[in-house]
Amino acid sequence: MFQNSFENVRKNCPLIHNITNYVTVNDCANILLACGGSPIMSDDKDEVAEITTICSGLNINIGTLNKRTIESMLIAGKKANQLGHPAVLDPVGAGASKLRTDTAMQLLKEVKFTVIRGNISEIKTMASGSGTTKGVDADVADKVTEDNLDDVVSFAKAFAKKTESVIAITGAIDIVADSEKAYCIRNGHPMMSSITGTGCQLSAMTAAFVTANPDQPLEAAAAAVCAMGYAGEVAHSRLSDMDGNSTYRNYIIDAIYNMTPEMLEKGSKYEVR
Amino acid sequence: MFQNSFENVRKNCPLIHNITNYVTVNDCANILLACGGSPIMSDDKDEVAEITTICSGLNINIGTLNKRTIESMLIAGKKANQLGHPAVLDPVGAGASKLRTDTAMQLLKEVKFTVIRGNISEIKTMASGSGTTKGVDADVADKVTEDNLDDVVSFAKAFAKKTESVIAITGAIDIVADSEKAYCIRNGHPMMSSITGTGCQLSAMTAAFVTANPDQPLEAAAAAVCAMGYAGEVAHSRLSDMDGNSTYRNYIIDAIYNMTPEMLEKGSKYEVR
Amino acid sequence: MFQNSFENVRKNCPLIHNITNYVTVNDCANILLACGGSPIMSDDKDEVAEITTICSGLNINIGTLNKRTIESMLIAGKKANQLGHPAVLDPVGAGASKLRTDTAMQLLKEVKFTVIRGNISEIKTMASGSGTTKGVDADVADKVTEDNLDDVVSFAKAFAKKTESVIAITGAIDIVADSEKAYCIRNGHPMMSSITGTGCQLSAMTAAFVTANPDQPLEAAAAAVCAMGYAGEVAHSRLSDMDGNSTYRNYIIDAIYNMTPEMLEKGSKYEVR
């Protein structure tokens, strides 16, 4: 099934409009190319509606946001909705500042997102309208474990129902849920948290997957999450003793580049709850 | 001949002022260092005239442009003209939005560029004042092939004549032309299109080459284009089975770093039309 | 001693707020993760006070500054002072434009910095209020050599006394001084100057070191400088014939990732003057 989702990305080469932070933007562009999509980055209010129009999907990431780009996010998000284009929201750091929380909430209110992808603290913040986020990382108190997994699955399904979006909560265990069904994904490697931007990259890639699979947003988002985690495993297996997080960053993107849909199908580790 | 152009870059270490997008800016800085130049990035209207003044050349790239930086581009471009500094324009995404097309046209009107480098769709857009660009990639309908190469060469020469700039159209076959003479360059590797920013990097490097060779802008620009393509070939030859576009990106910059003027002379593949 | 400083970074995992340029921001984030810190990048005036509050330390870097971010730097700097958080200033390009010099001077006047780190030209500019900087690199006329080292040490101590900051002047020989004591550091490799952003990365890492060692800012800053230089040596030893500055950039961050406090202790090369 994930094989098919990935094949559609490689076949359709979806052009994705990204309004994203300047920290990880280059990696987002390269991973989009690696998976078979095509990126365009554009954040000026005078062009975002047009850029969204020529693209097939939209990825909004609120890292390093500012007033100028928030306005652009709203314009692009509404335009994508109007055109029926899939849209992904990455609420980076929601809970870490009022500006980020408010922006995430405003986007949620004014734009319909196909997928919302964040860490557990960011998603909890969005569900409650306030929260604590340790900078751009999840709060330890929020951590998803085997013990609280069923609770988090229920929470994700409820938030998915409320927002009518697929909710992707990523961490040691990833949960990708709509209101009825949740994929609990156990791909990935702990070292991924030592690289900046694996979350941002995943959101960009998720936009490509849901855009290439418009009728199956849940499966497409789960496939993207598995692909990222599996790439983290493949990349880790290549590391030599002297390699560290910077080489690992490159190898993860390389692993997406070289991953075939068949490899993803075999490498995916998940259960449905 | 290209050997000499490259030797001058290494010898003169031209300081290049870049007003460029935040997607590929780090790669632009590193490739400038790799080729023997020195980069400074600066985009605030209150300092760009001063920064251009202490530099020897200017590189303007309109990716991720916004109102604030457009103003800075115009100030810096005019200042460079006033000082007789070479200036390169990379009209990223011209044709993809009115803002980009208009900005490219305004820059063309108000600033004299030594070189304009883009893909065929971007350059066609600039020649006609409107066009279709597939995001930041060339439209398939515009593709340069052996069949239409003579036509594109004529087009490039005519646009070079009109603008009094060297026109560099890059793609599977690259064309670098002034009004009289065109280099048709067959260096490069198809995998280069799977990396974000090889075009941006080439424009930055072209600025270094034309700045270090002020009397030979056509040859210098053609040398930079050959160097980038040849680096793509060298870098590709190093790739192992597990390497992908991210490692390839690094290896291309590495190849420029290790390229000698002699290697460029021998590795360049071009004909004059 | 440096061993202990580094152990505290790895143990405390300091969260560092960075207001920094868009050229090297990704590398700054990755090196912070590599050394054991945690990065957050944020530059909007409406959130910087809050972000600084949830962090433990602040890193201000004036590369690619603009009016919007200058205001944010001042807000964040004052907030860090108010909270007693360590703050690092990297006056990138001070001396290269009035805007940069004035901004550096204004920050120096309104914010108390724990460490000011720059090349010799930038630091001289700040000490005198004006200067000549070759773009973002030091002016050759300012170069620190064995012959003028004692003079530069005296200058650094005097400027440290005046500012009540630790002064870190980096180059072929690094000097890290407070008003009484100076570490003269001979780690590093000349090839580090062929990468963009090793200085920016060092400033970010210095913020993590002084934040994790609040009672020993001089030793912590010196430890960070040694760590960066030693990483440059380790990374260089890994390079193959075809590797260049891009791979070297990755390997330096990798070397920080894999460096143990014991390795730093043994690898540090310094004398006290």
pLDDT per residue over B77-92, tens digit each? Answer: 999 999 999 999 999 9
Q: Which tokens in the block code for residue A263?
A: 């490899």
Q: What integer is the mean pLDDT of A93-122?
A: 97
Identify which of B34, B42, B46 has the shortest CB distance to residue C64.
B42
Residues of B with CB under 8 A from a CB of A: 21-24, 26-27, 63-67, 93, 96-100, 134-137, 194-197, 241-247, 249-250
Give me the interface pTM, i.e. the ipTM. 0.96
What confidence category does residue B226 fall into, taking pLDDT thresholds of 50, 70 and 90? very high
DSSP string, B190-224: GGGGGSTTHHHHHHHHHHHHHHH-TT-HHHHHHHH
Identify which of C15, C30, C255 has the shortest CB distance to residue A135.
C15
Q: In what order do the strands lie in the sheet with A270-272?
A: A38-41, A15-19, A57-61, A87-90, A115-118, A166-169, A174-177, A182-185, A270-272
Cα–Cα–Cα angle for B229, B124, B153, nearest 5°? 60
Which residues touch C122 (CB under 8 Å, ≥6 apart)?
Answer: C91, C92, C93, C94, C95, C104, C131, C133, C138
Cα–Cα–Cα angle for A121, C51, A244, nearest 5°? 70
Chain B residue numbers with beta carbons less than 8 Å from the beta carbon of C199 are none
pLDDT of residue A134: 63
Q: Exposed, middle or buried by CB within 10 Å (0-12, 13-18, 19+), for C264?
A: buried
Chain A residue numbers with beta carbons less than 8 Å from the beta carbon of B30 are none
**C246 vs B30: CB contact, 8 Å cut-off?**
yes
Give tens-digit pLDDT for C88-121. Answer: 999 999 999 999 999 999 999 999 999 999 999 9
pLDDT of residue C1: 84
pLDDT of residue C131: 66
CB contact at 8 A, C168 and C221: yes
* CA nearest to A25 within chain B: B23
pLDDT of residue A133: 66
pLDDT of residue C132: 65
Cα–Cα–Cα angle for B99, B104, B108, nearest 5°? 145
Q: Which tokens in the block code for residue A77?
A: 């998000």
pLDDT of residue C15: 98
Identify which of C99, C137, C195 has the shortest CB distance to residue B47.
C99
Interface test with B, best of C61, C133, C196 (most B CBs within 10 A): C196
Which residues touch C2 (CB under 8 Å, ≥6 apart)?
Answer: C219, C222, C223, C226, C227, C261, C264, C265, C268
**What subunits make at least 3 CB pairs under 8 angstroms with C?**
A, B
Q: What is the pTM of this model?
A: 0.97
Q: Is the pLDDT of residue A138 over 90?
A: no
pLDDT of residue B131: 66
Q: Which tokens in the block code for residue A48?
A: 């975002």
Interface test with C, best of B47, B75, B200, B260 (most C CBs within 10 A): B47
In the predicted model, what is the mean pLDDT of chain A?
A: 96
Percent of chain A with pLDDT over 70: 98
* CA nearest to A241 within chain C: C258
**A47 vs B246: CB contact, 8 Å cut-off?**
no
Closest to A118 measured CA to CA, from A168, A177, A190:
A168
In the predicted model, what is the mean pLDDT of chain B?
A: 96
| Cα A181 off chain centre by | 18
Q: Which residue type does B128 have?
A: S
Residue C110 phi/psi, 5-degree rounding, is: -95, -15
CB contact at 8 A, B182 and B153: yes
Q: Which residue type does C117 have?
A: R
pLDDT of residue C147: 93
What confidence category does residue A137 fall into, taking pLDDT thresholds of 50, 70 and 90? confident
Count other C-beta atoms under 10 Å from residue C215's C-beta.
6
Residue length of chain A: 273
Interface test with B, best of A16, A26, A236, A256 (most B CBs within 10 A): A26
Q: Which tokens in the block code for residue B217?
A: 């802008």
CB contact at 8 A, A82 and A106: no
* CA nearest to A243 within chain C: C254
Give tens-digit pLDDT for A212-222. Answer: 999 999 999 99
| Count of CA atoms in the C-beta half-sphere (13 A) of C148 | 10
Identify which of A39, A50, A249 has the shortest CB distance to residue B97.
A50
* CA nearest to B20 within chain C: C23
**C42 vs A244: CB contact, 8 Å cut-off?**
no
What distance in Å separates the CA atoms of residue B76 and residue A146, rounded to the nearest whole number? 58
Q: Which CATH architecture has domain B2-272?
A: 3-Layer(aba) Sandwich (3.40)
Chain C residue numbers with beta carbons less than 8 Å from the beta carbon of A100 are 47
Q: What integer is the mean pLDDT of B234-251?
A: 98
Residue found by looking up tokens 């909007």 in the block: C44
**B244 vs A256: CB contact, 8 Å cut-off?**
yes
Residue C16 phi/psi, 5-degree rounding, is: -115, 125
Least confidently predicted of A121-125, A130-134, B256-260: A130-134
The neighbouring-strand residues paired with C174 are C185
Identify which of A26, A93, A244 has the shortest CB distance to residue C26.
A26
Q: A198-212 vs A2-12: helix axis angle to the nearest 10? A: 80
pLDDT of residue B31: 98
What distance in Å separates the CA atoms of residue A153 and residue A177, rounded to the nearest whole number? 7
Percent of chain C with pLDDT over 90: 94
Exposed e or buried b per residue across C216-234, where buried means at least 16 C-beta atoms within 10 angstroms of its C-beta:
bbbbbbbbbbbbbbbbbbb
Q: How many CB pairs under 8 A join A and C?
A: 102
Q: Is the pLDDT of residue A228 over 70?
A: yes
Residues of B with CB under 8 A from a CB of C: 15, 22, 25-26, 29-30, 33-34, 38-44, 46-47, 50-51, 54-55, 68, 234, 238, 249-258
Residue A167 phi/psi, 5-degree rounding, is: -105, 125
Q: Which residue type does B205 have?
A: M
DSSP string, C184-219: EE----GGGGGSTTHHHHHHHHHHHHHHH-TT-HHH
**What subunits make at least 3 CB pairs under 8 angstroms with A?**
B, C
What are the boundaries of each domain within chain C?
Answer: 2-272
Q: Is the pLDDT of residue A156 over 90?
A: yes
Least confidently predicted of B51-55, B140-144, B158-162: B140-144
Residues in chain C with pLDDT < 70?
131-135
Residue found by looking up tokens 């200036």 in the block: B87
Q: Is A239 helix (H, G, I), strand (E, B) or coil?
A: coil
The rounded radius of gyration (Å) of the Cα atoms in chain B is: 17
**A44 vs B23: CB contact, 8 Å cut-off?**
no
CB contact at 8 A, B199 and B223: no
Residues of A with CB under 8 A from a CB of C: 21-24, 26-27, 63-67, 93, 96-100, 134-137, 194-197, 241-247, 249-250
Closest to A169 measured CA to CA, from A97, A206, A116:
A116
What confidence category does residue B132 fall into, taking pLDDT thresholds of 50, 70 and 90? low
Cα distances (angstroms) measured from residue C32 to each of A53, A219, B2, B83, C229: 38, 35, 41, 41, 15
